[in-house]
Amino acid sequence: MVKLKIGVLSTAKIGREQVIPAIQRSQNAEVVAIASRNIENAKKVAEELSIPNTYSSYLDLLNDQSIDAVYIPLPNAMHKEWVMKACEHKKHVLCEKPITLDAAELEEIKKVAEENNVYVMEAFMYQFHPQHQKVKELLNSGAIGNVTMMRASFSFYLDDRTNIRLNNELGGGSMYDVGCYSIHAIRNILNQEPITVYAKSVERDNLGVDTTMTGVLSFENGIVGLFDSSFDSTHRQEYEVIGSKGTIRVSAAFRPDTSKDGKGKVILCVDGKEPEEFSIDGDQYTLMVEDFADAITKNRALSYTIDMALNQMKIVEAVYRSSESNNVVIVD
């Protein structure tokens, strides 16, 4: 099997601990290089994770003609610059979420990607876990009747003020970091786009970023989506779909690998019946990598395209517009 050769821009924790190991577990991709502006960091990570090549600059890695694609786990505010440069160097791109800070930036990336005939995918890994397909199957079977509402939450308490998630200049904020999952899950599970958004933000101690974001998505068919994200609350990562005859709850929606047994849990509660729990295994990071690599090596469309990412970014942007104006925002 031909393996996609991937270079990594930066030694960020998410790359070291999750995505690089997932690439190494995959059947159709391999990490062949890592770059850091601190070459000693690159060498240390390369030794720990058995990566053969290191570079002291991101551009040097992009100039390596043997590399097919790059994975970018840089701070949010740096995504656009380096995704664009990677595209210009004819590299396919897997970039951490949010891929950009607004829709206009992503439109620019889309144009450059098309001009250079490369794939760009936002790394929303959670959606590749099979537990979400189980939810969709239950909904399609009418298990809970007509859907009326969905809620999604992702939060954890963050007290470290030096953390980049609290740095406005680097694209910090709870919505960009974890709230995007709540928004994505509602859109993904309902398979619809909201027509209006209303959101409220909280900024702890004048940190310059939203440390809590809550809001409502309204859909044309009357379904309501309730979302929240926070650095001020205890750890929660769940969603629930509410219908006329019951509910479906996913208790480890975004990081099922952190649950006690490492599996996803889908809990079906139908009126008048005992709850039914489905325990579902899946390696979401590796499944994401394999889909990305398969699309490139077989020249097929990505399962999560740049247009899908653009729709997501338009909603995130609307959330921020609504929270800043304290008004309902119509989604463009």
Residues 60 and 141 in one domain: no
b/e per residue, 79-109, with b = 16+ CB within 10 A? bbebbbbbbebebbbbbbbbbbbebebbeeb
d(CA 320, CA 193): 17
Q: Provide the pLDDT for residue 90.
A: 98
User: Which of 76, 97, 123 is the endpoint of a domain?
Assistant: 123
Residues 33 and 174 in one domain: no
Q: Which residues 6+ apart lie within 8 Å of 22 measured at CB?
A: 283, 285, 286, 288, 289
Residues 49 and 169 in one domain: no
Residues 90 and 203 in one domain: no
Q: Report the DSSP pairing between strands 53-55 and 29-35.
A: parallel
Residues 42 and 73 in one domain: yes
The single residue listed with the structure tokens 């009326």 is 148
Q: What is the pTM of this model?
A: 0.96
Residue 305 lies in a domain: no
Residues 142 and 239 in one domain: yes
Which residues is 221 bridged to in the sheet?
Answer: none
Q: What are the tens digits of pLDDT across the range 177-226?
A: 999 999 999 999 999 999 999 999 999 989 999 999 999 999 999 999 99
Residues 277 and 133 in one domain: yes
Residues 167 and 181 in one domain: yes
Residue 296 lies in a domain: no
d(CA 332, CA 174): 23
**What does the pLDDT profile of the chain (332 residues) look like in tens digits?**
789 999 999 999 999 999 999 999 999 999 999 999 999 999 999 999 999 999 999 999 999 999 999 999 999 999 999 999 999 999 999 999 999 999 999 999 999 999 999 999 999 999 999 999 999 999 999 999 999 999 999 999 999 989 999 999 999 999 999 999 999 999 999 999 999 999 999 999 899 999 999 999 999 999 999 999 999 999 999 999 999 999 999 999 999 999 999 999 999 999 999 999 999 999 999 999 999 999 999 999 999 999 999 999 999 999 999 999 999 999 98
The single residue listed with the structure tokens 């008004």 is 327
Given the residues 97, 111, 245, 298, select the one marked as catalytic: 97
Q: What is the CATH number of the domain that holds 251?
A: 3.30.360.10
Residue 93 lies in a domain: yes
d(CA 287, CA 297): 15
User: Which of 107, 123, 139 is the endpoint of a domain?
Assistant: 123
Question: Phi-psi category of 51—alpha, beta or left, where left has phi over 0 and alpha has psi -120 to 50?
Answer: beta
Q: Provide the pLDDT for residue 82.
A: 98
User: Which of 66, 99, 123 is the endpoint of a domain?
Assistant: 123
Residue range(s) defining the domain that contains residue 253: 126-282+314-330
Q: Is 314 a catalytic residue?
A: no
